[in-house]
Structure 1
Amino acid sequence: MQKKANTFYQPQMIMIKKRHFFLLFVFMFAYEGISQNYTDFQGRFIPSINYRINKKWKIAGEYRYSLQKDLQEFRSSAGQLQLQYDINKKFSIETGYRFTTSFKEDNHRLFAALKYDYKFSDFTLFSGIKYQFSTGSFDSRYMNYYKEPRQMLREKIGLDYNIPKSKASVYTSAEIFLKLADDDPIKFNRMRYTVGGDYKLKYGNAFGLSLFYDDKVNPRKNDRFVLETKYSLSVDDLMKKIKKNKEKKAEE
């Protein structure tokens, strides 16, 4: 005698399969959303050197080595040279050039900025507006047909606190990036929020550590946290310190 198929469990099996399919669909949708909103953790190491030519002029250079994908992959390296002119104790202007190279492409950047510093007590209010022009090549055919230059306007404001009876200071700032283009003159690109600190060492040396977060407006681009480790050397401060030490030894 042939057994009849158990038709009682067939509708339940169909419902279970549909439920599994629905859960799989929800999981894939959620994973896609998480991957699009992934925030990368990056790092930068920036050694720099500067020299004050006189009371008005200052020249500086720096090298930047960057990592990405949670500090596991090389991102880029860059060299920068800039010149600063102090209009007075509060206002200064600067201009410079940066060359960046990576495994994918090279980039040239020209920039100019107007900065403002106002000191009161142990605090310093700083702000600035910066224009930058970036391109993969200065060749006119490249800029016209392959990839047009990227122009950006950056506005920054922040507050620095010099810890009393200490060589350390801490600061925080917020910066807005505005993209400039012919079809859309001004377009919001991203916000950058920064916290950090500096510590002055002997002989013009200084060490700095900061963390900033880039909040991008384009949902297809990932936000990022960037940890910056900085070392700087002031040549004129170094020379002044050496000169004072020689004068002290001569007096002894």
Structure 2
Amino acid sequence: MIKKQLLCLIILFLFAFEGLCQNYTDFQGRFIPSVSYRINDKWKIAGQYRYSLQKDFQEFRSSAAQFDIEYNITETISIETGYRFTTSFQEDNHRLFGGIKYDKKFNAFRLFSGIKYQFTTGSFDSRYMKYFERPNHTLREKIGLEYNIPNSKIDLYTSAELFLRLAEDEDPVKINRARYEIGVDYKFKYGNTFGFSFFYDDRTNPRKTDRFVLETKYSLSIDDMLKKIRKNKQKKTEE
């Protein structure tokens, strides 16, 4: 029954966004496998790979590898920092980022938000950054809500995010784009989670290069997997 509900949700999302995407310049896709490990109640490490397509899934856009570390200050507030390397046919870039996140559960609902600063450059060489291309400084502000369908392993969520470009000219803060996202996750056994989401980027540049992006995600929580294995072994021992 749960699998049928998940299939219906996928079909509804696909039909809804197929009509919307006809009004915009590009429909892109991403496949994102990731893995995480919670060392203890405070520390968590994670890594992910992202493969991106553009021009209605017909052309390679970029690939990226990311590593990040998260530290829980309290049960609801955490900080994170990390590094991402992105490569494409046209250029490569490095990204350093750090931020603070808020995460609070209210029965079947979960409220999450965060502020992230990111520094992106094609090279860490000082002459490159000074004479060829200046680094991008961006501040991202995000807020969202997640809902767990009762008696199921399905989570639905939606979020809105604002990208602010930080510059050194007369207008030091510019709105780069707004992002609106909806998605669904399904939790399997042994720490495996599969999900997909759609987001729309509403850009403010003169060319209005707006886009819809379909993300397909798979994640593995190593600590959840180990807990499940230990639990199964304990059951067999008790039997």
TM-score (norm 2): 0.89
Aligned with 1:113 (options 83, 99, 102)? 99
- Post-superposition shift, 1:39? 2.1
What amino acid sits opposite 2:71 in the alignment? Y
**Matching residue of 1:210:** 197
Per-residue deviation at 1:234? 0.3
More divergent stretch after superposition (182-191 vs 71-80):
182-191
The equivalent position to 1:64 in structure 2, one of 50, 55, 59, is: 50
Alignment-derived partner of residue 79 in structure 2: 93
Aligned partner (choices 150, 155, 162) of residue 148 of structure 2? 162
Counterpart of 1:139 in structure 2 is 125
Task: Report the residue type matching 1:200 in the other structure.
Answer: K
1:185 to 152, 172, 176: 172
Q: Secondary structure at the match of 1:237?
A: helix
Gapped regions of structure 1 (runs ≥ 5):
1-36
Tell me which of 8, 32, 41 is aligned to 2:27. Answer: 41
Q: CA deviation at 1:159?
A: 0.6
**In the alignment, residue 240 of structure 1 is paired with which amino acid?**
K
- Computing the radius of gyration from Cα coordinates, the structure with the larger value is 1
Alignment partners' CA distance in 2, 1:195 and 1:114:
22
SS at match of 2:207: coil
Tell me the secondary structure at the aligned position of residue 32 of structure 2: strand
- Aligned counterparts of 2:147 and 2:34: Cα–Cα separation in 1: 22
How far did residue 168 of structure 1 move?
Answer: 0.6
User: How far 1:38 moved relative to its partner?
Assistant: 4.3
Letter aligned with residue 237 of structure 2? A
Counterpart among 109, 112, 115 of residue 123 in structure 1:
109
SS in 2 for 1:238: helix
**Which residue does the alignment assign to 1:152?**
138
Aligned residues: 216
CA–CA distance in 2 between the matches of 1:249 and 1:123?
A: 35
Greater displacement, 70-79 / 184-193? 184-193
2:214 is aligned with 1:227: yes
Residue 219 of structure 1 and its aligned partner are, at CA, apart by 2.5
Tell me whether 1:236 sits opposite 2:219 in the alignment: no
What is the CA-CA distance between 1:221 and the residue it aligns to? 4.0
Name which of 84, 97, 102 aligns with 2:88. 102
Match of 1:143, SS state, is helix
Distance 1:199 1:57 in 2: 25
User: Among residues 61, 64, 80, which one is paired with 2:66 in the alignment?
Assistant: 80
Partner of 1:126, secondary structure, is strand
Query: Which amino acid in structure 1 is aligned with residue 93 of structure 2?
Result: N
Aligned partner of 1:12 in structure 2 is none
How large is the RMSD of aligned CA atoms in angstroms?
Answer: 0.9
Distance 1:148 1:221 in 2: 22
Q: Following the alignment from structure 2 to structure 1, what is the Cα–Cα distance between the partners of residues 162 and 86?
A: 22
TM-score by length of 1: 0.84
CA distance in 1, matches of 2:98, 2:74: 18
